[in-house]
Amino acid sequence: MADAPSPPRARPPFGLSWRVLGLVIAAVMAAEVLIFLPSIARFRVSYLEQLVENGTLAALTLDATPDRMVTEELKRMLLDHARVDAVVLVEAGKPNRALTLVPPRDEMPSFNLMERSALGLIWDALAAMGRDGSLYLRIGGYSNRLPTAMVWVVVDEEPMRLAMHAYAGRILALSIIIALFTAALLYLALRWLIVRPLQDLSGDMTDFRRAPEAVALKTPATRGDEIGVVDREFRNLQRELHASLRQKTRLAEVGSAANKINHDLRNILATARLMSDRLASSEDARTRALAPTILGTIDRATRLAGDALDYVRGRPEPRLAEVDLGDLVDEVGTHLEEEGEDSAPERVRHWRNEVPTGCAVRADRDHLFRIFANLGRNAFQAGANTVTVRVSSARGFLLVDVADDGPGVPEPMRAALFRPFAAGGRSGGSGLGLAIARDLVRAQRGDISLIDNGPGGATFRFTLPPGAGSAAGANPPE
């Protein structure tokens, strides 16, 4: 059945968009400031150069008079049109030509446009914009109309300052417009390409974290950039986790149901065993002959139910105590041989205990019993006639080997050897023996593996951690 569509959710309030917008505006304004500084310096230089040109043109009118003198009214008119208060032409081999309304004085700030550096011009422009009121300046430079003469003019700085302020205002307004326009374009582009997909992705992550099994799965993005890769990987991870969670939920439900079924089944099998015991004491010879078969079948069903119940319950906590490993192995061998005689009395089974005398370990005795019993039972059911148990030590670990002379583990089954319900092709097995043995070994901080396999038999080795015990007389593995 298709997943129900998830309800609409509020988009997470991202501050990334506004941060990007602010950073872009700040960056553009900083760039405009860096552009403005040489621009305002250049504006001031051009303004002063124009005044020098105007003053030169006004002073050259003196050459048209016989005595190089003009009336006061004409002088004022010429200087007003030139927008200067005084002009002096200094040319080699010729007398100086001058028109003055405000005579030059030594206390006036003096600037030679030909001798100022770029940083000096910027500093002069900023200093001029920072002053207030009227201030007369002496400005020197060369004119394009008279390249051989040095031209000095006296000007009032205030009109130039007002012009510089107006120019700066225009530059500021243009900078703000450019910054806002650029930031808006970049904001929309980033929001469409990055911020919006990240908001959707983060929202989906939040929804999936809150309800991983109820969220509807979406189709991965087709983008080829990094965000597309992240989106596809998240969708794949989401799909895998979704399937895994569903599977675990179903397994939990199956486990709960199996727990109840096992409880009832074991009660039923106990009743059936009692009835089989009565059949074994029947006066009918044929009935008595069938009793062992029925008992074996009931025992296998009981063991299957018990193994499933134990696996569903999970890994048990070990109760550590001092255990004589040799005595425990003998006890397991006796149990398995008697169990084999009940199920198949025609077969001969040998359980060889090569554990050295005095080998003591600190472990859970019941867990070790079940580990040996599961490994030995699997070996006998697979067709082995002899199972040998031996121990060794290496780097403080106790190594316990359970070897058999059976046909070995089929190669296709090696990858799934310790998975639950992987019976390896044997009939009558639950497929849980090795899985339970591994859980019991790991509960005691050890591990188990298949170290040898072939037509001549298989050897399983499980380890117990340092301090778990000592193998007296045991040789370390090569």
Residue 426 has pLDDT above 60, yes or no: no
Residue 475: the pLDDT is 41
Three-point CA angle 379, 406, 411, nearest 5°: 90
Band of residue 24 on the pLDDT scale cut at 50, 70, 90: confident
Q: To which residue do tokens 């911020």 refer?
A: 195
Provide the edge-to-edge strand list for the sheet that holds 397-404: 350-353, 386-394, 397-404, 457-464, 448-454
Residue 47, token pair as written in the block: 């303004």
Beta-bridge mates of residue 476:
none
- Buried-exposed string 317-337: b where 16+ CB fall within 10 A, e elsewhere: ebeeeebbbbebbebbbebbb
Where exactly are the structural domains of the chain?
A: 16-181, 211-313, 319-470
Model confidence pTM above 0.85: no
Which fold is adopted by the domain 211-313? Answer: Helix Hairpins (1.10.287)
Q: Top-level CATH class of 319-470?
A: alpha beta
The predicted-structure confidence for 120-137, as pLDDT tens digits, reads as follows 889 989 999 999 989 999
Residue 18: the pLDDT is 74
Residue 354: the pLDDT is 93
Band of residue 5 on the pLDDT scale cut at 50, 70, 90: very low
For 133, left (φ over 0), alpha (ψ -120 to 50), or beta? left
420 or 363, which is more confident?
363
The segment with the largest mean pLDDT, out of 63-67, 320-324, 466-470, is 320-324
SS3 for 403?
A: strand
Q: Same fold for the domain at 211-313 and the one at 319-470?
A: no
